[in-house]
């Protein structure tokens, strides 16, 4: 075990202790598949009118939740767009965004939009939501549809180049949109893949999964995994990044879903790689 792997294992061990009353799927593992929820969601989507914070209402069955997107930099329709999605439990939806893209944003000649998923107003909101698998799958599906509706608007504005990216949870959202919609020009998922359920079943992150979740691995895989859709897609516009020593989104588990020619491998883990803000920024900006 090297330092990078140790950082992931220590972090998730501490997380498991801190979240002992708020572990994933402790109160329920019933849920439709993500793709089924995507097709049933209703979004009240605002129209982009320059920079600013835009609340989004997402409705599904008995749920009526607020998400949002933040147009942090709007240069105009003649510029490309980068749509960025945060990771899980960042505290603030724009925590990683600010450090990767928001800092010195004036140097980036692109419109910058950050997504805020449902249940991600703060960590308390997020931790209470993950007791139910149905909330987690709804959250993912909501973000996919928000990205999709944004792209529809941006195309109507005449924007010719759209890049979708995200870290960890946001990387899985990026991959989900690629696998099921693929309407952006380029996708750059970071620390993610197509086997999301495995993070909760087998990885170091499973320390934050409840016994109910661990005892229902087939259900988690049915709802959360989409690797067959990812692998069957033409990946010519998909440029993923994985950490060689990632013990949360494990490298060997996730790399099989990618075209190895386009896969970027960095010598870090989930925890240590996620803080390499300059490296991640440069990786995303290669798409411009």
Q: Average pLDDT, whole number, for the chain?
A: 95
Quickly count: other Cβ atoms within 10 Å of residue 14's Cβ: 11
Residue 56: its pLDDT value, please?
Answer: 97
Cα distance from N-terminal residue to C-terminal residue, the chain:
37
How many helices and strands, by DSSP H and E, does the chain display? 13, 9
List pLDDT tens digits, range 8-29.
898 888 877 777 778 999 999 9
Count the neighbouring beta carbons within 10 Å of the beta carbon of residue 156: 11
Percentage of residues in the chain with pLDDT exceeding 70? 100
pLDDT in tens, 162-201: 999 999 999 999 999 999 999 999 999 999 999 999 999 9
Global confidence as pTM: 0.97
For residue 48, give the CATH number of its domain.
3.40.50.1820
Residue 16: the pLDDT is 72
Q: What is the pLDDT of residue 159?
A: 97
Across the range 266-277, mean pLDDT stands at 98
User: Which residue segment(s) compose the domain that 17 sits in?
Assistant: 3-285
Q: What is the 3-state secondary structure (H, E, C) of 82-121?
A: EEEECCCCCCCCCHHHHHHHHCCHHHCCCEEEEEECCCCC
Residue 13's pLDDT is 84
CB 287 within 8 A of CB 83: no
Number of domains in the chain: 1
Pair of tokens at residue 232: 């069957």
């Amino acid at each position: 075990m090297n330092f990078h792997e140790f950082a992931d294992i220590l972090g998730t061990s501490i997380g498991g202790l801190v979240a002992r009353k708020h572990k994933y799927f402790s109160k329920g593992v019933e849920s439709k598949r993500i793709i089924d929820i995507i097709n049933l969601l209703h979004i009240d989507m605002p129209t982009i009118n320059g920079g600013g914070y835009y609340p989004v209402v997402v409705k599904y069955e008995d749920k009526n939740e607020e998400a949002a997107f933040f147009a942090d930099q709007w240069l105009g329709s003649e510029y490309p767009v980068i749509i960025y999605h945060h990771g899980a439990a960042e505290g603030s939806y724009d925590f990683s965004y600010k450090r990767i893209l928001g800092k010195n944003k004036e140097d980036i000649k692109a419109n910058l939009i950050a997504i805020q998923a449902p249940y991600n107003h703060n960590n308390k909101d997020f931790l209470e939501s993950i007791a139910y698998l149905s909330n987690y799958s709804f959250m993912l599906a909501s973000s996919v549809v928000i990205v999709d509706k944004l792209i529809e608007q941006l195309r109507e504005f005449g924007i010719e180049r759209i890049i979708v990216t995200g870290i960890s949870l946001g990387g899985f959202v990026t991959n989900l949109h690629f696998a099921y919609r693929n309407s952006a020009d380029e996708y750059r998922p970071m620390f993610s893949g197509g086997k999301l359920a495995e993070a909760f079943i087998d990885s170091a992150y499973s320390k934050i999964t409840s016994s109910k979740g661990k005892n229902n691995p087939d259900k988690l895989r049915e709802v959360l995994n989409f690797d067959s859709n990812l692998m069957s897609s033409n990946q010519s516009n998909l440029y993923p990044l994985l950490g060689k020593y990632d013990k949360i989104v494990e490298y060997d588990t996730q790399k099989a879903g990618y075209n190895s020619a386009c896969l970027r491998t960095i010598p870090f883990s989930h925890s240590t790689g996620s803080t390499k803000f300059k490296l991640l920024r440069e990786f995303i900006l290669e798409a411009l």
